[in-house]
Amino acid sequence: VVDYSQGDVQVGDVFVLPEHRGCGAGKVLVHTAIDFARAQGVQQLYLYTPDMQNLYERYGWRRIDERWVNGETVSIMLMDIV
């Protein structure tokens, strides 16, 4: 069992309200998080998502695991930002 919560940098709670979707706001949020992490010397970012895997894969994350979290199956995803 791998504990992805200890000492790893995670992107969390990134969402865009439905009325603001489709205008690029999510892309800006994700790229801002990546740029900030890179500026801090972070080499890898983790996140988990129950249903947005395809979106995050387009930004460069890859699925590395699946877990049961808060009553649902989620994909653990990793991005190398070196």
pLDDT over 90 at 78, yes or no: yes
**How far apart, in whole angstroms, are the C-alpha atoms of residue 80 and residue 76?**
14
pLDDT at residue 12, rounded to an integer = 80
Query: Stretch 7-33: mean pLDDT, rounded?
Result: 86
pLDDT at residue 4, rounded to an integer = 60
25 close to 69: Cβ distance less than 8 angstroms:
no
What confidence tens digit (pLDDT) does each residue in 23-70 have? 999 889 989 989 998 998 888 999 999 999 998 999 999 999 999 988
Residues contacting residue 35 through CB under 8 Å, at least 6 positions apart: none
Q: Which ranges in 1-82 belong to alpha helices (H)?
A: 25-39, 53-58
Which residue did the predictor score with more confidence, 30 or 3? 30
**How far apart, in whole angstroms, are the C-alpha atoms of residue 79 and residue 61?**
4
Which range is least confidently modeled, 5-9, 16-20, 32-36, 50-54? 5-9
